[in-house]
Amino acid sequence: MRALEADNSTVAAAFERIAYLLERSREPTYRVRAFRTAAAAVRTAGPERVADLVARGRLTDLAGIGPSTAKVAAEVLGGAVPAYLQRLEDSAEPEGPQDRATAELVGALRGDLHAHSDWSDGGSPIEEMARAAADLGHAYLAMTDHSPRLTVAHGLDAGRLERQLDVIAQLNAAGAGVCVLTGIEVDILEDGSLDQTDELLDRLDVVVASVHSKLRMDHDAMTERMVVAATNPRVDVLGHCTGRIVVGKGRPPSSFDPDAVFEACARNRTAVEINSRPERLDPPDELLRVANGAGCVFSIDTDAHAPGQLEWQRYGAAKAVAAGIPAARILNTGPLEDIREWGEM
């Protein structure tokens, strides 16, 4: 019995490790889903059923297991490291900037203030995101799923967000290995107001506010929209401020007056996010220098939509180092108490 259990959890762990490495190396979440689904299927089915199916060569009968995941399972149960996993481990060594200053800054980061779960458009449950954050040594992770107007991303209406707050409270009470902070990535509407009730925003630890619509708005109107949001005392972090995309077909940055926006951030203690996602890397370097000159505080966030993406902070950290931003001006180099205090102000 004990051996069966060990086998079963080793198989699930192999699927999870493969998923994690794929996520870290920028594979889209949907492509990784087969392995996350397979891990959940094996854990749910239990050791006896899995052993029985494997013995009869029928593991693909289990919903969520296909030929390629069954092959991985067979290799694990045969006592080998699956060939696919080994290839990923060999090729997926930490990529990206490895200079000493960046490595030191990454080491100084104590948590992440922008991440998504499968409650909105992320690929994994809150619990799995929390486990990955704990494995990275983080002290806190803010769950900032989308607000209702972003329907393509299954934004949470007030009722679902309230339910999520209960789930996070239970998770923290059970001990998640990391403090899961409540939060939201709230849409900044066209007039600069926010896409959630004040009453709910007041209850959250971290409010990240981002523009996701009408990115091509006229320069002055966009400036006004962002200044209004940055001035709102409920906003803690201004997310990916230009909305640019730097891979594929790409998307140009929104047009606004950076002096006005970053001055509003500095004056109202709204942190400027350095978004670490490789396709965003937002703000661009020249704007980061403007924000630095304005005396802003920054938050280096991954905007992770899957556990493996929580390692992407190194991309944002490299940008901070290049712009000459000291660690002391980066909000999430601080302890949990600093984040709570920032959220209250």
Q: Where on the chain is the footprint of Zn ion (CB under 5 A)?
A: 185, 210, 303
CB count within 10 Å of CB 260 equals 16
Shortest reach from residue 252's CB to Zn ion, in Å: 17
Shortest reach from residue 303's CB to Zn ion, in Å: 4
Report the alpha-carbon distance of residue 298 to residue 77 in Å, rounded: 47
Ramachandran region, residue 137 (left: φ > 0; alpha: ψ -120 to 50; beta: rest)? left
What is the sign of the dihedral through the CA atoms of 307, 92, 326 and 267?
negative
Shortest reach from residue 96's CB to Zn ion, in Å: 20
Q: Which two tokens stand for residue 35?
A: 């392995």
| Closest to 85 (Cα-Cα) out of 68, 63, 67, 62 | 68
Q: Which two tokens stand for residue 294?
A: 């304005």
Residue 4 or 253 having the CB closest to Zn ion = 253
Residue 91 or 213 having the CB closest to Zn ion = 213
CB count within 10 Å of CB 121 equals 16
Tell how far CA 55 is from the center of its chain.
39
Report the alpha-carbon distance of residue 218 to residue 92 in Å, rounded: 42
Angle at 92 between CA 65 and CA 135, to 5 degrees: 75
Shortest reach from residue 8's CB to Zn ion, in Å: 34
Shortest reach from residue 110's CB to Zn ion, in Å: 20
Q: Are 247 and 282 in contact (CB under 8 A)?
A: no
Residue 309 or 333 having the CB closest to Zn ion = 309
Shortest reach from residue 118's CB to Zn ion, in Å: 14
Angle between helices 83-91 and 67-77 (to 10 degrees): 90
Residue 237 or 296 having the CB closest to Zn ion = 237
Q: Are 259 and 290 in contact (CB under 8 A)?
A: yes
Tell how far CA 224 is from the center of its chain.
28
Burial of 164 (0-12, 13-18, 19+ CB in 10 A): buried
Shortest reach from residue 102's CB to Zn ion, in Å: 23
Shortest reach from residue 215's CB to Zn ion, in Å: 11
Beta bridge partners of 140: 111, 179
Residue 24 or 277 having the CB closest to Zn ion = 277
Residue 73 or 150 having the CB closest to Zn ion = 150
Residue 236 or 303 having the CB closest to Zn ion = 303
Shortest reach from residue 260's CB to Zn ion, in Å: 22
Q: Which residues contact 169 (CB under 8 A, 6 or more apart)?
A: none
Residue 95 or 279 having the CB closest to Zn ion = 279
Residue 16 or 303 having the CB closest to Zn ion = 303
